[in-house]
Amino acid sequence: MQRRSFIKMTGLSSASIAVSNSVAASVLRPSQTTIEIDPKPLFSLSSHLYMQFMEPLGTTDSSVEAAWDHAKEDWKPTIIEVTKELSPAMMRWGGNFSAYYKWREAVGPRDKRVPLLNTDWGGIETNQIGTAEFVDFCRRIGNADPLVCVNFESDGLPRYAVNGKGENRVGDSKEAAAWVDYCNNPSNKERISHGFKAPLTINYWQLGNETSYRPGKGFDNLTAAKKTVEFAKAMRAIDPNLKLIGWGDSGWSKILVEEAGQHINYIAFHHMFDPGEGIKDSPVRNNEYRKDPAATWEVLMNGYKVHEKKINKMREETAAYNIPLALTECHYSIEGRNRCEVLSSWAAGVSYGRIMNLHERNGDVLKIGTMADFCGTRWQVNAVMIPVPHGEAFMMPTAKVMHLYRHHTGKDFVGVKGMPADLDVTSSRTGNTIFLHVVNTNRTKAVDTSFHVSNMRITSGKAYEIAADPTIEIMSAANDPMKPKERNVDIDAPFSFSPASVTAVELTVA
């Protein structure tokens, strides 16, 4: 497909910019040459917007097993090192896997642990990585908050309730409460007998995972809401300070809140989506993206629009409840031999910058979010890849962006009153430092601009930029083409944002 015919067909252009329905929407002015910032804090940005999500994916993508050194009975140093650099503020354990996971099979002496038939993803999980190992991982990468998805009575799905071996895999509210006790009760004898005198302390728990995604086969909306109350009461009887996340996607929020609103702290939803959704012969599917980089770029630069519709829908459905949203799984999902090969390209990295900006614009209600599965050996939806055997772990483009933002983000979101047409800009602030996240959506041209902060004077600035040929793909830790480069900001001269770049700017103001 040629670029000109693609643009005509879709009506897309590289000048398109994300404008959220949230109160913090920025203004695009086609003739503007200045990024204008209003430094008044609008809302706090949650550090949990940079969450990572870990699920044992069996033979499909050996995520957890590939990160574990069975000979040394420990996490591989390379995965610890790269994740510590990524420094997510939260790690989630669960996913579909939760619906047939029995936590007691993966605690205690290693020779007593029970291998698990992985119903969804194939193969056998050794269960050498369980609750204690997961919490240890969270602590070693920088004290990330662990978030666990419980076995929510197999979400009412018979295929999860009884596996191919005829084993009962249902986990009820008593089992979930016992898990909380094992982790958080200082006097829990079972945990202490396993060698952990101090609590493992897991404060965040999700009740139900994609429960609404299989209508007519599992729990209905009302049943799931009532089960949420049952689980919440049982778990909070052990620890009343838990932060609980209820499942509210697919229009389920209203009944969830009516039945269980007082028992939950967040409403969960997921979004795995194709940025070329609705586009005939989309160039990002399979390996077509290599044939027409310009057309591929157009789709990826506008992929945020598909995601924005989902977020806006969730905002509308939950606006009356004053309960924050938790996007506990999210990533592009595109056809491909190795699942979404295009996502290893820097074009995808720039696209993820737009999605991260969208998450920040909705940070008034979105308090937990992610843009990737966490780690694995094959799928490009992962944040971190682990080449096997004996490969060194490395960050994928989505992780590159999350890493950049995580290290250069303020506590409070502030408004961007105007920006040049090809730039997508969000801003935040901590004290006298203004942070900008700037995505240059122009594939071939730099954008020169200046900075202006209302009623404040800029005294100095630094920029941390990732810029590369959009067609370049990251394949290994060696010769990384996507390393951030530090640049000085001359406050008396225009600053040039490189083509196809994602940049974090820090401005000191007085």
- Tell me the per-residue pLDDT of 272-311, one tens digit each, with 9 for 90 and over: 999 999 898 999 988 899 999 999 999 999 999 999 999 9
DSSP codes of every residue in 334-362: ---TTS-GGGGBHHHHHHHHHHHHHHHHT
The predicted model gives 4-13 an average pLDDT of 34
Burial class (CB in 10 A: 0-12, 13-18, 19+), 313: middle
Q: How remote is the C-alpha of 182 from its chain's centroid?
A: 28
> What confidence tier does 17 reach under pLDDT thresholds 50, 70, 90?
very low
> What confidence tier does 20 reach under pLDDT thresholds 50, 70, 90?
very low
> What confidence tier does 339 reach under pLDDT thresholds 50, 70, 90?
confident
Q: What per-residue confidence (pLDDT) applies to 2?
A: 36
Residue 316 has pLDDT above 50, yes or no: yes
The predicted model gives 38-63 an average pLDDT of 95
Cα separation, 200 vs 192, whole angstroms: 10
* Fold adopted by 47-410: TIM Barrel (3.20.20)
Q: What per-residue confidence (pLDDT) applies to 27?
A: 58
Token code pair at residue 191: 């945990």
Average pLDDT value for the chain? 93
The predicted model gives 444-454 an average pLDDT of 97
Q: What per-residue confidence (pLDDT) applies to 337?
A: 86
128 contacts 68 by C-beta, under 8 angstroms: yes
Q: Give the rounded percent of residues in the chain with a pLDDT score beyond 70.
A: 94
Q: What per-residue confidence (pLDDT) applies to 364?
A: 98
CATH architecture of 3-44+413-509: Sandwich (2.60)
**41: cis peptide before it, omega within 30°?**
no
- Tell me the per-residue pLDDT of 237-279, one tens digit each, with 9 for 90 and over: 999 999 999 999 999 999 999 999 999 999 999 999 999 998 9
- Tell me the per-residue pLDDT of 191-215, one tens digit each, with 9 for 90 and over: 999 999 999 999 999 999 999 999 9
Cα separation, 276 vs 281, whole angstroms: 9
Cα separation, 474 vs 394, whole angstroms: 9
> What confidence tier does 21 reach under pLDDT thresholds 50, 70, 90?
very low
How many angstroms separate the Cα of 437 from the Cα of each of 75, 82, 431, 500? 33, 22, 17, 14
Cβ count near 485 (within 10 Å): 12
Q: What residues does each domain of the chain span?
A: 3-44+413-509, 47-410
Residue with tokens 């809302």: 43
The predicted model gives 339-354 an average pLDDT of 96
306 contacts 277 by C-beta, under 8 angstroms: yes
Cα separation, 247 vs 312, whole angstroms: 17
How many angstroms separate the Cα of 69 from the Cα of each of 65, 72, 92, 202, 251? 8, 6, 21, 24, 42
Residue 25 has pLDDT above 70, yes or no: no
Residue with tokens 């006790």: 181
Residue 8 has pLDDT above 50, yes or no: no
Torsion of CA 294, 467, 404, 49, to 10 degrees: -10
Put simply, whether the predicted model's pTM sits higher than 0.85 gets the answer yes
398 contacts 372 by C-beta, under 8 angstroms: yes
- Tell me the per-residue pLDDT of 375-432, one tens digit each, with 9 for 90 and over: 999 999 999 999 998 899 999 999 999 999 999 999 999 999 999 999 999 999 999 9
Q: What interhelical angle do 221-238 and 253-260 show, nearest 10?
A: 40
